[in-house]
Structure 1
Amino acid sequence: MTGATGTPGDELTAMATEELNAACSLTWPELKRITPWGDSFEGFAPSGRTVEVERRYLWAVDPEGAIVVEVEVRDASARTGVEARAILHAPG
């Protein structure tokens, strides 16, 4: 993970990846229960700057029945942001 010495974009990318990993760690029954759903919250990047983190759980059109997990980390003051995305399939 990029710390305070990395570039701002690297830091946002690392945060988005970490948050996506956490978002995808739910079990399939948990994912199904909360989809469609999204939330956002204010957090702090490793450098200390304030960022907004948004998670979205959506039903995929293709492949049908899969769940799309999206995470966006934004620094509104710098007008920058990074998105990370995963498509999760039902087990079995």
Structure 2
Amino acid sequence: MSFAEHELTAMAEEELAAACDLTWPELKRITPWGDSYEGFAPSGRTVEVERRYLWALEPEGAIVVEVEVRDAAARTGVETRAILAPPA
């Protein structure tokens, strides 16, 4: 994995952790929803970060949280996701 890919992966994982840090009631209120914004990677290059909250097919009632970080200039990007099950 190149430095650029490693940097995008680290950013996506950090953003995913923040996205999953919401409480279950907060997650339910915003699902389905998504947004994107322009940010800066630690190296200083401009990247686009997209966050999506979607209802999962399995397990029933779960929420899929997806984060994609793209470098349009380099035509590269990475995506990471988590499936959050509803509380028991």
Give the TM interval when normalised to the shorter protein: over 0.9
Q: CA deviation at 1:62?
A: 1.2
Question: 2:84 corresponds to which letter in structure 1?
Answer: L
Say what the alpha-carbon RMSD is for the aligned residues. Answer: 0.8
TM-score relative to the length of structure 1: 0.93
Q: CA deviation at 1:16?
A: 0.2
Which residue pairs with 1:28 in the alignment? Answer: 24
What is the identity percentage for the equivalent residue pairs of Structure 1 and Structure 2?
82
2:46 to 50, 58, 64: 50
Unaligned runs of 5+ residues in structure 2 are none
Corresponding residue pairs, total: 87
CA distance in 2 between partners of 1:10 and 1:32 (Å)? 31
Which segments of structure 1 move beyond 6 Å, counting only runs of 4 or more? none
Which residue pairs with 2:70 in the alignment? Answer: 74
CA distance in 1 between partners of 2:5 and 2:81 (Å)? 17
Unaligned runs of 5+ residues in structure 1 are 1-5
